[in-house]
Amino acid sequence: MPISITMPALSPTMEEGTLAKWLVKEGQAISSGDVIAEIETDKATMEVEAIDDGTVGKLLVAEGTEGVKVNTVIAVLLEEGEDAGALSGFDTGVAAKPAVAPAPVPTPQAEPSAVPAPQAAPAAAPVAEQPVTAPAPRLAAVSGSDRVVASPLARRMAAQSGLDLASMAGSGPGGRIVKADIESALSGGAPVQRAATAAALPQRAAAPIQPGAAYVEVPNNTMRKVIARRLTESKQLVPHFYMTVDCDIDKLMAMRKELNERGAKDAAFKLSVNDFIIRAAALALKKVPSANASWTDAATLRYTSVDISVAVAVANGLITPVVRNADQKGLAEISNEMKDLAGRAHEGKLLPEEYQGGTFSISNLGMYGIKEFAAVINPPQGAILAVGKGEQRPVVKDGALSIATMMSCTLSCDHRVVDGAIGAELLQAFKGFIEDPVTMLL
DSSP letters spanning 326-381: GGGS-HHHHHHHHHHHHHHHHTT---GGGTS--SEEEEE-GGGT-----PPP-TTB
pLDDT at 79: 81
Q: What is the mean pLDDT of residues 307-324?
A: 92
Q: Residue 247 and residue 407: Cα distance in Å, rounded?
A: 5
Question: Are 3-87 and 225-440 in the same CATH fold?
Answer: no
Q: Is 39 exposed, middle or buried (0-12, 13-18, 19+ CB in 10 A)?
A: buried
Q: Is 27's pLDDT higher than 90?
A: no
Confidence of residue 204 (pLDDT cuts 50, 70, 90): very low
Which percentage of the chain shows pLDDT scores above 70? 76
Confidence of residue 132 (pLDDT cuts 50, 70, 90): very low
Cα dihedral across residues 220, 223, 229, 233: positive or negative: negative
DSSP for residue 166? G
The CA-to-CA distance between both ends of the chain, in Å, stands at 64
Residue 346 appears among annotated catalytic residues: no
pLDDT at 84: 73
Q: What is the mean pLDDT of residues 85-108?
A: 49
User: Quick check: 368 and 125 in contact, CB under 8 A?
Assistant: yes
Residue 383 φ/ψ, nearest 5 degrees: -165, 160
Q: Is 61's pLDDT higher than 60?
A: yes
Report domain extents, the chain. 3-87, 102-219, 225-440
Q: Which fold has domain 3-87?
A: OB fold (Dihydrolipoamide Acetyltransferase, E2P) (2.40.50)
**Angle between helical axes of 250-263 and 273-287 (0-180°, round to 10):** 120
pLDDT at 405: 97
Confidence of residue 280 (pLDDT cuts 50, 70, 90): very high
pLDDT at 100: 37
The secondary element (H helix, E strand) that includes residue 429 is helix 420-435
Catalytic residue from among 176, 286, 393, 415:
415
pLDDT at 203: 43
Q: Residue 420 and residue 65: Cα distance in Å, rounded?
A: 46
Residue 54 vs residue 321, higher pLDDT: 321
Confidence of residue 385 (pLDDT cuts 50, 70, 90): very high
Q: Does domain 225-440 sit in CATH 3.30.559.10?
A: yes
pLDDT at 42: 67
